[in-house]
Amino acid sequence: MATALRDPYNQPLFEHGPPLGIRTLMLVVLAVILIAIDHREGHLDRLRGSLTLVTYPIQLVVDLPASALERAGETMADRDLLLEEIRELREIRLEQSARLQRLESLEAENRRLRDLLDSAERVGERVLAAELLRVDLDPFHHRVLINKGSRDGLFAGQPLLDAEGIMGQVTQVGPFGAEAVLITDPGSATPVELVRSGLRTIALGTGDLTRLELPYLPNTADIEEGDLLVTSGLGMRYPRGYPVGRVTRVERRPGETFAAIEAEPSAALDRSREILLVWREDGRPFDWDPLEEAPAEDVEPLEEVPE
């Protein structure tokens, strides 16, 4: 057999190049350098982005059965079923457009009141629909893949929504796909606000798709089961006012400084396939800090500000 002939008993293991030990050492050092740079600086986005050109097709292939099944289901759906679905959707649209009419007048009113108070106008947002790829990245982290990338203008740190609420934020952007971390990832923290009392705190991910933790509220905090949490916009990542979750458990522990509070995410984190990506209407990222930069040119009365 040919393999037997190539067995390196009496021929040098390598015909060319440095010996194996040296090569291993070089690659190990290279790997450690990569880890250090990626961990500390995150300057490797370009390398990662170009490598996704190889890995993204693999991810698409893995996603293929799920999306093909979905498409097959769509094409083979019964006509009556489709008609009924259209009817239902029309009803929903009618209902929502009625609500939207009121919203527009409210927004105009809000703008006038903010003008009176001389406070900055809240910037509008625009959204783009995308799809999640059905792949498992890591059993212990809640990360997902999106089928839109920098080609569609995605950026790292961009918020991700579904129809029910905040899902997470984009962490890595490749040319065709992007990776996002969900709010339930153990490394994720979401600045939130209680709708009922205006109380602000932080919701931490637990590694469980149906549970968020609010560990920084004292026993005396005004919070009850069923309270709705929305984003407070303070972390400058998520836009303000999108639902995050509902409080499911409040346990006030007399011996402890903080109460044990849990919430359930509003977004269907384990079921949504259609998602929305959000941009500010003026094109700035959400982490743009208004205090650090000069005001935009559309703010006119600059010279009237007393110095």
Binding residues (CB under 8 A) for another protein: these are 2-3, 6-8, 13-14, 20-21, 23-24, 27-28, 30-35, 37-39, 44, 47-48, 51-52, 54-55, 58-59, 61-62, 66, 134-141, 143, 171-172, 179, 186-187, 207
How many separate helices (H) and strands (E) can be counted in the chain? Answer: 4, 12
- Residue 189 · residue 203 · CB < 8 Å: yes
Which is nearer to another protein, 188 or 201 (by Cβ)?
188
Which is nearer to another protein, 136 or 289 (by Cβ)?
136
Q: How far is the CB of 39 from another protein (least distance, A)?
A: 5
Q: How far is the CB of 28 from another protein (least distance, A)?
A: 6
Which structure tokens are listed for 136?
């498992």
Which is nearer to another protein, 9 or 289 (by Cβ)?
9
Name the residue type at position 96.
Q
Backbone angles phi, psi at 191, to 5 degrees: -70, 125
Which is nearer to another protein, 3 or 119 (by Cβ)?
3
CA distance 266 to 128: 20
Residue 236: DSSP 8-state: S
Which is nearer to another protein, 146 or 223 (by Cβ)?
146
Q: How far is the CB of 244 from another protein (least distance, A)?
A: 22
Angle in degrees, CA 233, 283, 93, rounded to 5: 75
Q: Is residue 212 classed as helix, strand or coil in its secondary structure?
A: strand
Q: How far is the CB of 179 from another protein (least distance, A)?
A: 5
Which structure tokens are listed for 192?
């939130």
Q: How far is the CB of 133 from another protein (least distance, A)?
A: 9
Angle in degrees, CA 9, 14, 20, rounded to 5: 105
CA distance 186 to 173: 21
Which is nearer to another protein, 135 or 268 (by Cβ)?
135
Q: How far is the CB of 5 from another protein (least distance, A)?
A: 9
Q: How far is the CB of 166 from another protein (least distance, A)?
A: 20
CA distance 263 to 212: 5
Task: Write out the E strands in 60-165.
Answer: 125-133, 143-146, 159-161
Which is nearer to another protein, 172 or 272 (by Cβ)?
172
